[in-house]
């Protein structure tokens, strides 16, 4: 399949009426010598998101293709359906609540991919846009420290394990990236079952892991993205959702490790042990025995070595009275520190 000398920008959005305009404006303001097509996957929002997208599609008919889904497809299907519509040689993507803050992002990345045929993906640094709790205010702040290799050019295979064991921040934030459409199509053909699997919670982890096996990555040590994060206070429901997300992400990493054929070394051992501890802490804070039981199953499934801290929390949760007392003293300590 021949791809045109243009850049396809994928925007998947659902119920983002307050941010989608900002997102689209940041794409339209890009200063790029190649044409840009914007593919919007509007996933049957229940708010005003669709009408805003329709207004932009009418205003920019030569640039924007709007796919207004008749029903909610969900993140994975909406995302990959949009990617398969891309006609450009290169693909970039932007979530409907994020924005690019460098108007030359696409031009810089396109030039690198044009000049270096062995590079399959180029990405950058990013910063955070935080909504403050109980305030109608947002702040821009630095992203977490980057512990991963930051060479300008690196063999992607050297990053695969880092990608599969990432925790506090991704090795590659795909909303900062640009990659080759041809490579994506090859990956999609070979790995459709994993990419479309509804049991997995995210699209970026398998995408970047598979891309890392196809060539070099380039890294621009520049900030091009304002990434929106929420700082709402946690509660029991959030803890349960976090438990499920961590469990499914870890299962995805485990399955990718097997699919790609990476040896299970000390780094993987440490990662799976840490994730079991994280699951057990979520179970501890919710005081749910079923989550504690599920954690034990995960530990067995991943053959995870249990660290001392994990064994200690397991002991606390083995007795209901001890568990309740521990939660009580934890709440008192939190109140003390907040005051």
| In this structure, CATH architecture of domain 4-230 | Alpha-Beta Complex (3.90)
Residue 94: what pLDDT?
98
Q: What is the dihedral of CA 71, 75, 79, 80, to 10 degrees?
A: -90
Residue 232: what pLDDT?
43
Question: What is the maximum span of the chain, computed from C-alpha positions, in angstroms?
Answer: 67
Query: Which residues make up the CATH 3.90.550.10 domain(s) of the chain?
Result: 4-230
The whole-angstrom distance between residue 116's C-alpha and the CA centroid of its chain comes to: 26
DSSP one-letter code for 47 = S
Residue 237: what pLDDT?
64
Q: Return all residues near 102 (Cβ < 8 A) that are at least 6 apart.
A: 108, 124, 222, 223, 224
Over residues 55-104, the pLDDT tens digits come to 999 999 999 999 999 999 999 999 999 999 999 999 999 999 999 999 99
Over residues 304-334, the pLDDT tens digits come to 999 999 999 999 999 999 999 998 888 777 7
Over residues 261-300, the pLDDT tens digits come to 999 999 999 999 999 999 999 999 999 999 999 999 999 9
Q: Considering Cα of 280, then 285, then 290, then 291, what sign does the dihedral take?
A: negative
Residue 257: what pLDDT?
98
Over residues 93-146, the pLDDT tens digits come to 999 999 999 999 999 999 999 999 999 999 999 999 988 765 578 899 999 999
Inter-residue contact 45 to 15 (CB < 8 Å) = yes
The neighbour count for residue 297, using CB atoms within 10 Å, is 10
- Lowest average pLDDT, out of 160-164, 165-169, 324-328, 331-335, goes to 331-335
Give pTM, 2 decimals: 0.94
Residue 233: what pLDDT?
39
Over residues 223-252, the pLDDT tens digits come to 999 999 874 434 456 899 999 999 999 999
Residue range 250-264: average pLDDT? 98
Q: Return all residues near 312 (Cβ < 8 A) that are at least 6 apart.
A: none
Taking the C-alpha atoms of residue 220 and residue 198, their distance in angstroms, rounded to an integer, is: 33
Q: Enter the tokens of residue 160.
A: 């695969």
DSSP one-letter code for 132 = P
Over residues 186-233, the pLDDT tens digits come to 999 999 999 999 999 999 999 999 999 999 999 999 999 999 987 443
């Amino acid at each position: 399949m021949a791809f045109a000398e243009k850049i396809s920008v994928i925007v998947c959005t659902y119920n983002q009426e307050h941010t989608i305009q900002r997102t689209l404006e940041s794409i339209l303001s890009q200063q790029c010598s190649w044409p840009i097509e914007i593919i919007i996957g509007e996933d049957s929002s229940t708010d005003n998101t669709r009408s805003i997208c329709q207004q932009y599609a009418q205003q920019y008919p030569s640039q924007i293709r709007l796919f207004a889904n008749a029903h909610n497809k969900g993140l994975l299907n909406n995302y990959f359906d949009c990617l398969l519509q891309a006609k450009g040689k290169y693909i970039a993507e932007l979530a409907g609540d994020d924005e690019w803050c460098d108007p030359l992002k696409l031009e810089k990345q396109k030039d690198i991919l044009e000049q270096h045929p062995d590079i399959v993906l180029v990405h950058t640094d990013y910063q955070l846009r935080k909504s403050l709790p109980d305030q109608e205010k947002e702040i821009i702040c630095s992203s977490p420290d980057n512990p991963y290799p930051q060479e300008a050019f690196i063999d992607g295979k050297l990053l695969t394990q880092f990608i599969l064991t990432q925790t506090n921040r991704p090795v590659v934030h795909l909303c900062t990236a640009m990659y080759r459409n041809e490579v994506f199509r090859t990956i999609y053909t070979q790995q459709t079952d994993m990419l479309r699997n509804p049991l997995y919670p995210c699209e970026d982890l398998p995408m970047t892991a598979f891309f890392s096996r196809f060539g070099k990555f380039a890294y621009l040590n520049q900030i091009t993205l304002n990434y929106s994060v929420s700082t709402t206070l946690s509660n029991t429901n959030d803890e349960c959702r976090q438990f499920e997300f961590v469990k499914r992400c870890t299962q995805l990493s485990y399955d990718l490790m097997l699919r790609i054929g990476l040896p299970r070394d000390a780094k993987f051992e440490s990662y799976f042990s840490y994730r079991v501890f994280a699951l057990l802490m979520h179970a501890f804070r919710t005081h749910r025995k079923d989550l504690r039981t599920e954690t034990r199953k995960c530990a067995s499934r991943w053959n995870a070595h249990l660290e001392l801290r994990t064994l200690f929390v397991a002991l606390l949760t083995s007795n209901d009275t001890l568990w309740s007392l521990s939660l009580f003293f934890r709440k008192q300590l939190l109140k003390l520190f907040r005051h």
